[in-house]
Structure 1
Amino acid sequence: MTITSLSVRIPAELRAKLKAQAEHNKHSMNAEIIKRLEESFTSQTETAPSVSKKKSAGSVELPASDVNRIRKVLKKAVKELKKKAD
């Protein structure tokens, strides 16, 4: 594998998030960025559901579009339950 360098400009807030996540995962920002880029290409070619990986027992990471869809369904269910309770 050939290694090359890449210079990119990103918002300071995104850099801070990457740095914090890299520290949390106990590796460098470079390793965090490579891991995330590789995962983005892997997830595009998978035919499995949108769950990308298990983080800890009972928790999963979902794409934002799935999270928003679930939120809408839950909000609707809560409204219906409140109507029935009244």
Structure 2
Amino acid sequence: MNKYKKLVLSIICDAIGCLSYFFPGLGELSDIVWAPISGWIMTKMYKGKVGKIAGVVAFVEEVLPGTDIMPTFTIMWFYTYFIEEKKKKQ
């Protein structure tokens, strides 16, 4: 997948995670449904050990109340395409 398509998908996934703030009461229920889905999507977007760790982080971030504001997918995208790329070039 193209890195910019991954960025768009990351922003969409982060936005879905934030939707729970718009539905008081129902929001926490939606987090319970979204948490495993977001973890699974993260592991499919980013392969290997890093993807598995990011999947667990995405799951936990969605399950814990009040942490939905964290843009986990977008942070992972920046980590992959800026930090990891910089390490590979050195």
| TM value normalised by structure 1 | 0.32
Q: Which has the higher helix share?
A: 2
Higher relative contact order (CA 8 A, sep 6+): 2
| TM value normalised by structure 2 | 0.31
State which structure, 1 or 2, has the greater radius of gyration over its C-alpha atoms.
1
